[in-house]
Amino acid sequence: MQIAIVGATGNVGRSVIQMLLQKGIASDQQIKCLASPRSAGSTLSIDQHVFTVQEARHDNFSHCDAVLFNTESDISAEYVPAALAAGAFVVDSSSHYRLDPQVPLIIPPVNIDQVTRQHKLYAHANCLASPIATVMAPLHRAFGVVRASICTYQSVSGAGKAAMDACRQEMQSVLENHPAQTTRFPRPIAFNVIPQVGDFRDDGSSYEEFKIIAELKKVVDAQIAISATAVRVPVMVGHSIALQLELTNPYSIAEVQQLLSSARNVQLSAHHYSTPIEVVGSDDVFVGRLRQDPSHPHGILLWLCSDNLRRGAAADAIEILAAIKAVVD
């Protein structure tokens, strides 16, 4: 299987290549690295393998069996049709196709069975909808989720490599007693939190909040009432989520623990809870602070942590690719 990665030089693109190699899904000979003209001709070293980055063009998807897009919406919108026209399977990480009713939105631990030979284009969900659905879907099947309230504590790596560098530099600058400054975020991120991820929409929600809600509704159940507040925190990698669920049926904490301990890609945190820096490098969602919601008889409160460059990113893309490979073989 010949695989092209578009956006190969980004945070997630590099993780995808590393995971393809590590999991033995592809050899370095089977991987083609594509990126913007700016990166074309540069080399990319991943685990002793060296790749020459080529420019992503409409005409270089021939001989590709699958193309993974780790790109922003505008790039996906421009190049995905060319990859499909070349006959390739496509896994798109951008938000461009996610809510398209013709395109299956795949959160692998939840609905990987929607990958079929017939469908060529798949979208995967964002790095918050994916871990939340991973925990919420099994609870919904067992107890019925009526309502979900989500508050995020999301890392800067979701905004790219440059944002990580900017966060580090802002921190260093404040530690040297310079005044806080705004670099790549809407407000200073050093020793601060910012309740804005993406632009605001007319209803007052941010685009990130809209995506979380819409993607969860598409994948888990459109009937669930969902609210979200997305907040950027000065963490490099690893998203955390305070999740409040209202269930239809009575439950016990022991039942929920039992259920989640056997759910796909879920781990119960040791020592009450995980923190984002502890889960970096794992494909799983860690669940802690599991407790009765004192504000509702069927309510439950949970604390989720996951590696946002993997779950809802590289891991989801890789698992969808593996499923494609399985149905093609």
Which residues are the active-site residues?
127, 239
Q: Where are the beta strands (DSSP E) in 36-133?
A: 43-46, 49-52, 54-55, 66-69, 89-92, 105-106, 121-124
Stretch that binds its own copies, among 13-21, 52-60, 129-137, 283-291 (CB under 8 A): 283-291
Residue 199 CB coordination number (10 Å): 10
Q: Pick between residue 77 and residue 180 the one whose CB is nearest to its own copies.
A: 180
Q: Pick between residue 151 and residue 259 the one whose CB is nearest to its own copies.
A: 151
CB of 36 to its own copies, least distance (A): 29
Task: Please name the residue that has the structure tokens 């904490």.
Answer: 253
| Residue 261 is a binding residue for its own copies (CB under 8 A) | no
| Residue 273 is a binding residue for its own copies (CB under 8 A) | yes
Question: Rounded to whole angstroms, how far apart are CA atoms 93 and 84?
Answer: 15
| Residue 38 is a binding residue for its own copies (CB under 8 A) | no
Burial class (CB in 10 A: 0-12, 13-18, 19+), 320: buried
| Residue 114 is a binding residue for its own copies (CB under 8 A) | no
Question: Rounded to whole angstroms, how far apart are CA atoms 51 and 29?
Answer: 9
Question: Rounded to whole angstroms, how far apart are CA atoms 209 and 226?
Answer: 10
Stretch that binds its own copies, among 19-27, 43-51, 63-71, 276-284 (CB under 8 A): 276-284
Which residues of the chain form contacts with its own copies (CB under 8 A)? 147-149, 151, 153, 168, 171-172, 175, 180, 187-188, 191-196, 200, 203-205, 213, 225-227, 229, 231, 233-236, 240, 242, 244, 253, 272-273, 275-278, 288-296, 299, 301, 303
